[in-house]
Amino acid sequence: MNTNKTVADYIIDIPDFPEPGIIFRDITGVLNDADGLRLAIDEMQAKLEGVEFDKIIGLESRGFLLGMPIAYNLGKPFVPIRKVGKLPRATIRKAYDLEYGTAEIEVHAEDIASGERVVIIDDLIATGGTINAAANIVEALGANVVCMVCLLELKGLNGRSVLEKYDVKTVVQYEGK
């Protein structure tokens, strides 16, 4: 393992995508390098030291990629929150705003029990809409969000402002959008 690199060193900056003036932070550079992936998982998992929780919730789809190995390493159950229409059993769903419209996510209602302490994992905090919607679902089922861990944060989009009541931890922060 290359101990001189940070997670940020594996992230690929794509200028002017999806539109001029935006720098897209591509995490596939992290995922397709064994050292980068190990470093990302280890650093995200380290954010959970001392946090008491029962389950890890991962958001489709990159939250699955990052949350599942952490759940495995810590011996915790993993619960996927998916885009609407992907889950076969009874679900609870939440709509939320996107930059250009709305979206919905859902979880199997029986997969999260009242009183459980959960950690929500995703790749990115931008506006905070998706992870906040996930937290709303968890809370509607009577569980408690004890921590949110994301690989990246785009601070210029002020996602933390909608997540103020949560313990939010990120590995890499970018000042802009």
116 is catalytic: no
Give me Rg for the CA atoms of the chain.
16
Marked catalytic residue, from 62, 82, 116, 153: 62
Look-up: residue for tokens 């199997």? Answer: 108
Nearest one of 14, 37, 36, 23 to 174, comparing CA atoms: 23
Q: Which residues contact 143 (CB under 8 A, 6 or more apart)?
A: 112, 113, 114, 115, 116, 117, 118
Residue 55: CB atoms within 10 Å: 19
The residues that bridge with 26 in the sheet, in sequence order, are 12
CA dist 173 and 156 (Å) reads: 10
Look-up: residue for tokens 């998916």? Answer: 82
CA dist 93 and 162 (Å) reads: 19
Marked catalytic residue, from 19, 49, 99, 164: 99
- For the purposes of burial, counting CB atoms within 10 Å of the CB of 142, is it exposed (0-12), middle (13-18) or buried (19 or more)? exposed
25 is catalytic: no
The catalytic site residues sit at: 62, 99
